[in-house]
Amino acid sequence: MSSSKPSIVQSQACATAGSVATTQPDKAMLVLLALTFAVYFLARGWLNAALVLIWVFCLVQIALGHCPVREVLSDKTARWLVGALAAPIVAVAAVQLLRQEFVPKYFDAPLRLLLSAAILLYFVARRVNFLRLAEFAFPVGVLLCAGYLFFWPGAGKYFWTFGRVATYFMDPLTLATHITIAGFISLFLVDASGRDPLWLKSLKYLAFVAALAVSIATGSRSGWVMIPLLVSLWLIGVKGAKSTRQVLLSVLAVSVACFALYWGSDVVHVRVAKGLQDVVEYFSGGDKDTSLGIRISLLRANWILFLKSPLYGWGFEGVPALSSIPEVAAFLTPLFESFFVRSGGHNEIMQSMMRMGILGLASRLLVFGVPLVVFAQAARSSLARRRSAGYLGLIVVIGYLTASASMEVFNLIYAASFYGLLVATFAGVALDKNPT
């Protein structure tokens, strides 16, 4: 590179390691990022709009030469992350090209992940550390959401059947996933940047409890599944259960807490018991048109369809006639077929495999697998800020992975924006190996 271009050392001098960036444009961008997460659960379209604004800001800064992107991309890990966030839109484009079809709406969510890749490059180049502002943004966002749902008189009109809570734009399944992730981020941020004062520590713990309360009130098992996994990660990783005895005690504590929640909460007890009953009925020849029964049929159908067209799937213009496929017709019911046509496969990876074949499978393995490896490596770092960012990133990836088993997590634009922006935000710190 020519000497007239800024070096990465010069660029890094514009930011304070372990803190937020010091230049005025960077400060403005970080404030916008904090506001993005703080009001995410209350304002429809706000996250998508903020993502685009942050992307435009980053793009302008890159174009002006304020970020040595080429030097960032010389790092193999950064290239893998950028490739992972770009993989979904590449898969959609390739399949539509191969199938000679063009369905624009399926580019929407993958495009948000691609925008997040550019944001990631900026964060890494500028050594932007959002962790200190995150300590306020996420607890405030969770508490605003909980306060609205539980105390605002008009919130009840957005409740689903049987009292399941939702917002005016976020259904119970998505709300449970995202509020649980935000709640655990608040928990993992306790003492993440040094010893917190009592009021700040209390705020984070309160946000965590409020997030669990909202998640339970949604009645969504998709959000509940990640709770024991993330609690175990917190006990073993953050709280330092290292020996075999400590790990076993942590697992035992989580198990006891889960059983206590099962027997102590009517909502949890009824939903879990109903799920177990659905599975037993399905495989014993009983009713297949239950909540979990339909999901099982959707998984089976997607797998069968993938095997019949594994190279580039069935595309996006429509769905195949299930009654014409003998293997699917054997368990086809009108209600299941209606779900398949209207609501998709209720599994992110399997639905992508059905629509896009091997390319769909590869794109999902990359978009989940690469960040998972990167954050796991950062969580073992000797640098405190990298460790914190690594664990925060693991919350996001594990949360989305568990939710993706029973729902499509990237079929909504704001859900893709949430994942992409969180990965970019925490990876920007996780990739910073500078010890100063």
What are 31-83's pLDDT values in tens digits?
A: 999 999 999 999 999 999 999 999 999 999 888 877 888 888 899 999 999 99
Kindly tell me the burial class for residue 159, based on how many C-beta atoms sit within 10 Å of its own C-beta (0-12, 13-18, 19 or more).
Answer: middle
C-alpha to C-alpha distance for 111 and 208, rounded to whole angstroms: 31
> Residue 296: which H helix or E strand, with range?
helix 291-308
- Distance, in Å, from the CA atom of 165 to the CA atom of 175, rounded to the nearest integer, reads 9
Instruction: Let me know: does 328 contact 299? Beta carbons within 8 Å.
Output: no
Higher pLDDT, 435 or 233: 233
Neighbours of 63 (CB within 10 A): 10
Q: Model pTM greater than 0.85?
A: yes
- Cβ of 115: how many Cβ atoms within 10 Å? 25
Q: Band of the pLDDT at 402, cuts 50, 70, 90?
A: very high
Residue 161 is predicted with a pLDDT of 62
Query: What is the per-residue pLDDT across 198-256, written as a single tens digit (0 to 9) for each?
Result: 999 999 999 999 999 999 999 888 888 999 999 999 988 887 766 677 777 777 887 88
> Average pLDDT of the chain?
88
**pLDDT exceeds 80 at position 378:** yes
